[in-house]
């Protein structure tokens, strides 16, 4: 009579999850928060006069333009109402230093070329892993571990029932016993787990893969890089157009394309979608937050502490125009001052609460049209005020104390 395996032996058959794939050094790769070159001053030591001389030397002789030379380039595309960046140097600089833009063929980081080369066998399965591939592998390891754990638990229950004489088990060649149904359906391992990496690397094909992906900047991101940082040169429309678009022309162009279909310059209003969104974008970027589009969660922006590769977004930003100026109480401007229904705010707040994000209502004070006519960009933005209100969903079970 064969010995029945104990529950401890059945549990020991569970294969532990595979060790985590080594990630790139994100702290070194994303060390700079903005695509600018900054030379820090040496610390000032009060009891050491030489430290002041070193600061003066750095200020006088080590000064260099912080903007990139030559400037990063991109062209405006009216069809997508965005700025496309196709140069590899510009793409890497914008994503690695501030997480600007989105890959046109990727979820966020432009990694299409790496995934395509891996699919064609040009690189190994563990070379140049992207964040999406690392996440998918971890999910597969978790699913495999849960299947192994469920199978071990089923074997333990079957062995317990066999000891009580309630069922009969079949003998196996290894001295164990399994149920007939379990013996007929063995667990299929994940594809590629037993593949020899060294043998696969020896048969690498030499294939040239053209990178078809470009970086897509929103209008707010492109204007911040051009006007706020001076790191982007916008041309267009079209990649063949080499004429640069100045800051004042870009502001007018982006304002017109914030409507669909685009409006004429004479029909623009102070509460344009681009102006309101850019005021909020510039506000949080100047405070050190990494601002990303938040249309996935029904908000305008998501705020990251350092970036999407380090942690999830902590806050969702909802832009709310505020018409508190007396002009908007007149007959001409009263049509703008319309309130949102309560169920709309409840829906957005509930979505944010379910994904563990705090909803931030940002009220932008809209000036009258006469206050912004003929102003330059710097003076125009000063006419807008920003107020922040944090909104949390009240739950009885969590907020009882």
What amino acid positions are annotated as catalytic residues? 304, 312, 357
CB neighbour list of residue 308: distance below 8 Å, 6 or more residues apart: 99, 108, 290, 292
Of 214, 239, 220, 212, the residue nearest 103 (C-alpha): 214
How is 187-254 classified by DSSP, letter by letter?
PPPPTTTT--HHHHHHT-----------EEE-HHHHHIIIIIS--EEEE-SSTT--PBPPHHHHHHHH
Task: Tell me the C-alpha distance between 283 and 286, whole Å.
Answer: 5
> Token pair of 57, please?
């030397």
Of 368, 367, 369, the C-alpha closest to 383 is 367
Peptide bond into 70 cis (omega under 30): yes
Alpha-carbon distances of 195 from 59, 123, 145, rounded to whole Å: 58, 15, 19
User: CB-based contacts of 317: which residues, under 8 Å, 6+ apart?
Assistant: 280, 284, 291, 294, 299, 300, 301, 302, 303, 360, 362
Q: Which of 214, 194, 172 has the alpha carbon at shortest distance from 88?
A: 214
Tell me how far apart the alpha carbons of residues 82 and 209 are, in angstroms, rounded to a whole number.
26
Paired with 322 in beta bridges are 365
Q: Say which DSSP state 35 is in.
A: S
> Cβ of 80: how many Cβ atoms within 10 Å?
12
What is the rounded distance in angstroms from the CA atom of residue 110 to the CA atom of residue 99?
11
Q: Residue 142 half-sphere exposure, CB side, CA atoms within 13 Å?
A: 6
For 306, the token pair is 């350092």
């Amino acid at each position: 009579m064969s010995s029945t395996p104990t529950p401890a032996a059945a549990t020991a058959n569970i294969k532990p999850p595979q060790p985590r794939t080594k990630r790139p050094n994100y702290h070194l790769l994303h060390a700079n928060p903005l695509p600018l070159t900054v030379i820090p001053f040496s610390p000032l030591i009060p009891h050491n006069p030489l430290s002041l001389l070193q600061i003066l030397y750095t200020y006088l002789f080590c000064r260099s333009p912080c903007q990139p030379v030559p400037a990063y380039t991109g062209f405006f595309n009216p069809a997508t109402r965005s700025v496309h960046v196709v140069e590899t140097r510009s793409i890497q600089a914008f994503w690695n230093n501030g997480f600007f833009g989105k890959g046109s063929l990727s979820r966020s980081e432009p990694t299409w070329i790496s995934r395509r080369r891996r699919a064609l066998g040009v690189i190994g399965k563990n070379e140049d892993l992207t964040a999406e591939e690392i996440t998918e592998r971890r999910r597969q390891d978790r699913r495999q571990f849960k299947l192994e754990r469920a199978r071990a638990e089923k074997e333990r229950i079957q062995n317990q029932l066999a000891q009580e004489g309630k069922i009969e088990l079949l003998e196996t060649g290894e001295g164990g016993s399994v149920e007939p149904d379990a013996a007929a359906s063995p667990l299929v391992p994940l594809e590629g787990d037993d593949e020899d990496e060294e043998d696969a690397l020896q048969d690498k094909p030499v294939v040239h893969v053209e990178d078809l992906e470009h970086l897509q900047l929103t209008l707010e991101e492109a204007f911040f890089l051009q006007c706020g940082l001076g790191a982007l040169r916008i041309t267009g429309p079209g990649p063949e157009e080499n004429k640069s678009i100045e800051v004042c022309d870009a502001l007018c162009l982006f304002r017109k394309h914030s409507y669909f279909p685009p409006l004429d310059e004479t029909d623009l209003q102070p509460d344009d979608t681009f102006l309101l969104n850019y005021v909020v974008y510039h506000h949080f970027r100047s405070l050190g937050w990494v601002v990303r589009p938040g249309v996935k969660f029904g908000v305008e922006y998501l705020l990251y502490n350092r970036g999407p590769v380090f942690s999830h977004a902590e806050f969702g930003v909802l832009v709310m125009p505020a018409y508190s100026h007396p002009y908007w109480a007149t007959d001409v401007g009263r049509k703008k001052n319309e309130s949102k229904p309560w169920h709309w705010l409840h829906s957005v707040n509930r979505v944010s609460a379910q994904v563990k994000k705090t909803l931030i209502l940002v009220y932008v004070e809209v000036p009258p049209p006469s206050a912004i006519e003929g102003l330059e960009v710097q003076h125009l933005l000063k006419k807008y005020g920003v107020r922040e209100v944090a909104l949390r969903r009240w739950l009885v079970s969590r907020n009882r104390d």
